[in-house]
Structure 1
Amino acid sequence: MIKLQVIGNLGKDAIVNNVNGKNVINFNVAHTEKYRDAQGNQKERTTWVECAYWTDKTAVAPYLKKGNQVYVEGTPDVRTYQTNDGRQGAALSLRISTVQLLGSRNADGQSANNYNAPAAGYSNQPAPANDMAEIADDLPF
């Protein structure tokens, strides 16, 4: 199995779709890497990752807004296509198993963690039985 982990910023707001009776949250994540070329010039390279999160836990979707920083984990898939000018192109997509909200940006473009998003990440993996007992102990009823 191949697993890919990405930390980056959302390029646009997430969209919830229903495909054959199953919910999928679609969004894209940009990871920008800074480096120096052979001449010592500062350069940036941005990699865009198209994400598909197949889940019934669509409550996270309203928090997946453009500019917010997220951690995503899942199985990669490379899709090839032909561009309008006849060249070969490739797109990296990721079938998400885990998404975690890390932060957001304010109007100045600076990092800010002032939104009311759930603190925990979302995952398609079942919680271990002992964790469920701890959660039940914290319930107010």
Structure 2
Amino acid sequence: MIKLQVIGNLGKDCVTNTVNGKNVINFNVAHTEKFKDAQGNQKDKTIWVDCAYWTERTGIAPYLRKGTQVYVEGTPEVRTYPKNDGTTGASLTLRVLSVQLLGGRAEGGEGGGYNAGNSGYNSGGGYNAAPAQTASAPAAGGNESYDDLPF
């Protein structure tokens, strides 16, 4: 088995579909590496990974928003396709086995405002932690816990 691990940010909000009666969450992750070329100039190289997460547990989908940093693990596949200029292009896809939410962007509401570390969701278990709460006032009862998930 070949396993691929990716840490990066989501390029756009995920899309949840049903294919042949099974749920799939599609999203893409970008990882950017910084390096210096032979002349000493700072360069960036971004690799995009298209991800397909086949799962019955779609509760993570609202948290997979543009800009959110994730750790994704699964089995890779390279797909080729014909480009408009007649050449062949290739894309890296990942059949996701597990995904962990590492955080999100703090500015401008990108990433859904979610910014908790070590929160995750995987195909074998469930959530490892509750999402961060941003309430400015205590709940009406005062003693209610934020540990309960709505799904």
The TM-score by the shorter chain falls in which range? 0.7 to 0.9
Give the structure with the higher percent helix: 1
Q: 2 CA distance for matches of 1:46 and 1:119?
A: 24
Q: Equivalent residue for 1:64?
A: 64
Contact kept, 8 Å, 1:51 with 1:95, in 2: the verdict is yes
Q: How far is the alpha carbon of 1:122 from its aligned partner?
A: 1.4
Question: Which structure 1 segments of 5+ residues have no match?
Answer: 128-138
* 2:114 alignment counterpart: 115
Deviation at 1:108, TM superposition (A): 6.0
1:5 to 1:120, Cα distance in 2 relative to 1, 3 A: same
In proportion to residue count, which structure has more strand? 1
Deviation at 1:123, TM superposition (A): 1.4
Give distance in 2, aligned partners of 1:99 and 1:26: 12
Moved over 6 A (4+): none
Distance 1:117 1:14, change over 3 A: farther
TM-score, normalised by the number of residues in structure 2: 0.76
The alignment yields a C-alpha RMSD, in angstroms, of 2.7
Task: Find the residue that maps to 2:61 and give its secondary structure.
Answer: helix
Count of aligned pairs:
128
Q: Which residue pairs with 1:3 in the alignment?
A: 3
Partner Cα distance (2:85, 2:112) in 1? 43
- Any idea what SS the aligned residue of 1:56 has? coil
User: Matched residues in 2 for 1:118 and 1:23: separation?
Assistant: 26
Q: Find the aligned partners of 1:87 and 1:44 in 2 and give their Cα distance.
A: 25
C-alpha displacement at 1:88, in angstroms? 1.0
- Is the contact made by 2:32 and 2:46 (CA closer than 8 Å) also made in structure 1? yes
1:80 match: secondary structure: strand
If the length of structure 1 is used for normalisation, what is the TM-score? 0.82
> Aligned partner of 1:47: which letter?
I
Instruction: Map residues 31-70 of structure 1 onto 2, 5 A cutoff.
Output: 31-70=31-70
Confirm or deny that 1:15 pairs with 2:15: yes
Structure 2 alignment gaps of length 5 or more: 127-146
The percent of aligned pairs where both chains have the same amino acid is 66
- SS state at 1:58 partner: coil
Q: Following the alignment from structure 1 to structure 2, what is the Cα–Cα distance between the partners of residues 24 and 63?
A: 15
Counterpart contact for 1:63–1:117, Cα < 8 Å: no
Contact 2:105 2:115 in 1 (8 A): no
Q: What's the CA shift for 1:119? A: 5.6
Structure 1 residue 25 and structure 2 residue 25: aligned? yes
* Structure 1 equivalent of residue 73 of structure 2: 73
